[in-house]
Amino acid sequence: MPIIETVVKQHAEESAFLWLLRDSAVHAPHYSLKDMAKLDNRLDAHIDGLRIAGDAGWEICKEAMGVGESGEVFAAALLAFESRDEARIRTVLEAAEERLETCRGLVSALGWLDWRQAEIHTRKLLTDASPLFRYFGLAACAAHRQDPGAALTDALRDEEPIIRARALQSVGELGKKDLLDFIRNRLTETDDFCRYSAACSAALLGDADSAAVLKSFAGPDFPWPEDALKVAMRRMALAAAIDWQAAELAIRPDTLRLAIIGAGAIGDPTLIPWLVDQMPVPELARVAAEAFAMITGVDIAYADLEGERPEGFESGPTENPEDADVEMDPDEDLPWPDPERIRAWWEKNNGGFRSGARYLLGHPITFEQMEHVLKTGRQRQRHASALEMSMLKPGLPLFEIRTPGFRQLRMLGLK
């Protein structure tokens, strides 16, 4: 069958674009598992077009890697790993090594493979002389929730911080409770990322002292303060979490947004009136509504609690070429709330909630309810449920919500 180059190029372009879309969607507030599965099926259909094109598909993807974007590296890496062609694999590894910002595309490709395919490559990567390539191997094992064995033990003592941090993170993701004592001893690591990774894993494995370490990362000076906050709030005792939220985070302008997100992670309905009070502030309205929904389970749009975008409010990049602010609006995909309607809804429905208890999507946090959220919730809600499940049963591997959607459906018995 003749190859039509323009069609193959279109498959390559769409594959790269759809990967970038899913890279954002896996943590988006409006994507459900079924939405992810549809998106991933679209992506895999274009990858299939590249597979059918054979050598021509590879050459076009190889050339596309020159733009230096993660989506192009994902498509080329997936074809290379599936082919088991050492020259092609070396090409994509070197491309990722040259542009470190594209590494996530390569790791994602290893995660996209089924484990039987990926294992062959990860075993080689885990013993490579390059620290970056060993990192790829560890990350691929973690993506599949597969234990690297002795390679993990070695990585935990590696001289390279990037390897130690990835290994420390893997311990919690894999539910390696047998390594908890080792992890506890790493809560004083001098490297920030190693210390943070150790604290996250210790929290998942049941260690209470990890929360104090995570609190130190829940601030504007750390790259992922919201991630640190969400894990810390869930590991802390309820009273201590509420005290931190109210007495420290909520009184500072630079951590007020974190206080709102933290309220949603805590899940105690006593925080809802305070959340509603934040909704008239345009910069805080949508994230406060998301925290409200995280606790109550109400769909702001479906329940007719949605409001209008405030007149004159701007967020994210503008069309003004002199505007130096190019940060995307973090709440772009969240609905605008109507504070008065929401207040009225709460006054009518608060009798169904008990103060001093923790809720997620309108129900007390139990293992069975978290399993239900994992199947039916949206991505951020699903991530919350995965964290709760691992904390409820220390040693349970953290469910990976970034796994291809069609595979997750099978794992959860939905397909």
Q: Is the pLDDT of residue 50 over 70?
A: yes
The one-letter amino acid at 335 = P
Q: Is the pLDDT of residue 317 over 70?
A: no
Q: Is the pLDDT of residue 326 over 80?
A: no
- Token couple for 173: 């993701």
Q: Which sequence spans correspond to the domains of the chain?
A: 1-125
Distance CA 299, CA 288 (A): 13
Cross-strand partners of 364: 359
Distance CA 290, CA 303 (A): 14
pLDDT at residue 322, as a whole number: 53
Share of the chain above pLDDT 90, in %: 93
pLDDT at residue 84, as a whole number: 97
Cα-based distances in Å from 317 to 309, 331, 339, 349: 17, 13, 26, 38
pLDDT at residue 183, as a whole number: 98
- Token couple for 280: 């008239």
Distance CA 56, CA 355 (A): 62
Q: For residue 306, is it left (φ>0), alpha (ψ between -120 and 50) or beta?
A: beta
- Nearest CA to 21 out of 326, 289, 373, 379 is that of 379
Per-residue pLDDT of 74-128, as tens digits, reads: 999 999 999 999 999 999 999 999 999 999 999 999 999 999 999 999 999 999 9
Mean pLDDT computed over 18-22: 98
The one-letter amino acid at 89 = I
Per-residue pLDDT of 242-274, as tens digits, reads: 999 999 999 999 999 999 999 999 999 999 999
- Nearest CA to 332 out of 315, 313, 310 is that of 315
Residue 364 phi, psi (nearest 5) = -55, 150
pLDDT at residue 316, as a whole number: 66
pLDDT at residue 318, as a whole number: 52
More confident residue, 272 or 313: 272
Q: What is the pTM of this model?
A: 0.95
Quote the Cα angle for 100-66-71, to 5°. 65
pLDDT confidence bin for 173, thresholds 50/70/90: very high
Q: Is the pLDDT of residue 22 over 60?
A: yes
